[in-house]
Structure 1
Amino acid sequence: MVRFIDEAKIWIKAGDGGDGCVAFRREKFVPKGGPSGGNGGKGGDVIFRAKKDIRTLIDFHYRQHFKAEDGRNGEGNNREGRSGEDLIIPVPVGTVISEIKDGNESFLADLAEDGAEYVVAKGGKGGKGNASFKSSTNQAPRKATKGEKGEEKYLKLELKLLADVGIIGYPNSGKSTLISRVSSARPKIADYPFTTLAPNLGVVDLGDLRCFVIADIPGLIEGASEGKGLGHKFLRHIERTKVLIHLVDLSVPDALKRYYNIREELAKYSEKLYKKPEIIAGNKIDLDISKKNIEIFREQFKDVYFISALTGEGVRQLMEAVWRVINEYRDKPDEG
């Protein structure tokens, strides 16, 4: 199984420009043969390219240093040095690139589409050969310049998953069971908190070309916005979603309190996240112990979908409601 890595820090450097050359032609009647030193080649750029078949940043866990090729030095006979090859670094779609400088992070790019590219570091220009310095007053210059250094940066890469719908809720509320019920995704499922240690994505197909991507986000707890439990490590993955399914375990005594705890964590983390369209789904209605909370939630909220992710009861109606909300917000720009 591929490990899910959603954050990495790397060092990158573009290629240095090649040096200019000092050389002279050996021709009769030409002072000192005439200058013939060529310019140096440009250093290669460092370019990030988003690829849809890459799912994780795990490659950067094993390699943290990347350098593009240097430009070649100029040569005699006015031969310009070859430019260094660009270094193209593939990353998952949804990768956000920031530069770390003096302990501060500054946003550089968000590669949210397959094939999107960003030149993160430019190669240095090649130096000038002595042929470039020939003038009416200096027919045989012995001057050449060094190539410029390529840019180098220390970067932070963050992966924000691209899904239409994010399922949020406390650990063990049934998120993994629900995503396995509505899609072909098969996450690890067990009856204890934090079974899901990485977001799972599935595709829901309602028929008639009605499909959407759903993400099962690891369980949130009080203090998640400050990093408790699995912390805000996974909150970033629901920033891009159009709709949130807030899944509540109705079999626990404090179900309503847990619902409001999660809402509070979303508000602390991001006002934008807090204001996203939310569909409340009360889970585990197949258990007798859930009956009291079913009545409580009916009284508290106008629209609640009561389901059993285990048996499938009410799940179809929930997914149809999700599809309606997605369509309502589909054309609205996402700022996540």
Structure 2
Amino acid sequence: MGGVSGESSGPGSATPGSITDVPGVRVGQVTRRGGGWLTGVTVVLPPPGTVAGVDVRGGGPGTHETDALDPRTLVPTADAVVLTGGSAYGLVTAHGVQRWCAEHGRGFRVGPGEREVVPIVPAAAVFDLGRGGVFGNHPTEAMGHEAAAAAASPAGARVERGTVGAGTGAVVGRRFKGGVGTASVRVGDAVVGAIAVVNAFGVPVAPGAAGGGRVPGEPLGSGPALNTTLACVATDAALDPAEVSRTATAAHDGLARALDPVHTLSDGDTVFALATGAVPLPAARPERVAELVRVQAAAAEAVRLAVLDAVASAEPVEVGGQLLPRWPG
């Protein structure tokens, strides 16, 4: 498969790359802003039969169906991945995505009928409750269904960035605007893409910056330390369930390179990984290990770029007279 090369020069470039550069992977997003709302949902819809894994590192996670992605369990695949606002309340969006998948015959087949399936739809949430002004305005089951339908539409090939989807109410450093970002990296014949929802206690680490990413003299903001950064990595490399799970683990390095601090007690940092299997890897063990290392290194880099892209793409938001400005770095 050869070496690793970036698809972009990072945030702000004309062609930053996207998780949808992985053939067959699509993204749908629903955004609610105004009238007490500042939240949304992001759905990653892979091709049927995509192998999935996850690694949860944060001390305050809000997740759904992550145990189903353990490589020791029955079903090795996932039918969609949901990234949502609304903290634990927002996890209901996975039910809407599951309903959409069932309507289209996508899922683990349990009977002869076209819709006799159980869709596997893992999800994770960020905390944005009350940021739009009304605590009870959080993503709904219907919004999950809408996002899944959007992912399956022609528009699903293009990923919106910034203050959209699950990143609509996101913040970084407790006082600057976070959001959704995406990027991709090529590994020989394969592509590794990532999408990130950045709602972090920490702040961005600029490339090559000494002493972390904070502006000199700028402390972390005040306010509740309830945060999370979510990411989903996808590749067209053919990985088995254990290899996909290890790729999710490796991809967390991208969070650590892009944010300072990360994986804290008050973050719910979670990374999902998907492998569509279109590009075979060598069967011989030494050669396969070498290619896996390249894919996993690319996963970390794609996540790093996606996190920085999210922060660079975020638009400032004013709610109740309070401004959430862009990160000044």
Please indicate, yes or no, whether the TM-score normalized by the shorter chain is above 0.5. Answer: no
TM-score w.r.t. length of structure 1: 0.22
Q: Higher relative contact order by CA 8 Å / sep ≥ 6: 1 or 2?
A: 2
TM-score w.r.t. length of structure 2: 0.22
In our comparison, the structure showing a higher alpha carbon Rg is 1
